[in-house]
Amino acid sequence: MSVQRFDQKVWMVMVPAEPQLRPELALLRRRLTDAGETNLVLILSRVDIIGSRSLGMLLRLNRILSEKGRRLILCSTRPATKCVFRVAGLEDVFDFAANKYEALDTLRHLPPPSDESPPDHSSNP
């Protein structure tokens, strides 16, 4: 698994095809648990067909990141793979980008995580 860190908040990962995909996603999940506030871009260009166990692992990754106010973006998804997401009813669950540059641009324009409360500017007399 090739992991590129663009800064502390963005990891870009080129994932392998099945059958290596699910174990690699499991490893990535363990690493993300310790990584803190990291957005994740997965490059799926090597993946033709994705199995149900790998889809389950992607759902877990998506949930973990969402709970931290972070994003998972899938990019360079092949048509056959995208069709699997559509047939499984998951096309609207995940964020997709045409390529890694579009994914990075999407992350660059995100509002800050909502876990921080805005400062209180009201004055009490």
Domain at 102, CATH number: 3.30.750.24
pLDDT at 111: 72
pTM for this one? 0.85
Q: Give the model's confidence band at 89: pLDDT under 50 very low, under 70 low, under 90 confident, else very high.
A: very high
17 lies in a domain?
Answer: yes
113 lies in a domain?
Answer: no
Number of compact structural domains in the chain? 1
As a whole number, mean pLDDT of residues 99-124 equals: 69
Q: Are 72 and 40 in contact (CB under 8 A)?
A: yes
Q: Give the model's confidence band at 43: pLDDT under 50 very low, under 70 low, under 90 confident, else very high.
A: very high
pLDDT at 114: 58
121 lies in a domain?
Answer: no
85 lies in a domain?
Answer: yes
123 lies in a domain?
Answer: no
114 lies in a domain?
Answer: no
124 lies in a domain?
Answer: no
The backbone torsions φ and ψ at residue 2, rounded to the nearest 5 degrees and listed phi first, read -100, 115
E strand segments, 1-125:
2-7, 10-14, 39-43, 72-75, 95-97
Q: In the β-sheet with 72-75, what is the strand arrangement from edge to edge?
A: 2-7, 10-14, 39-43, 72-75, 95-97
114's CB contacts (< 8 A; 6+ apart) are 69
57 lies in a domain?
Answer: yes
Domain range for 7? 2-108
Q: d(Cα 100, Cα 4) in Å, to the nearest integer?
A: 11
pLDDT at 74: 98
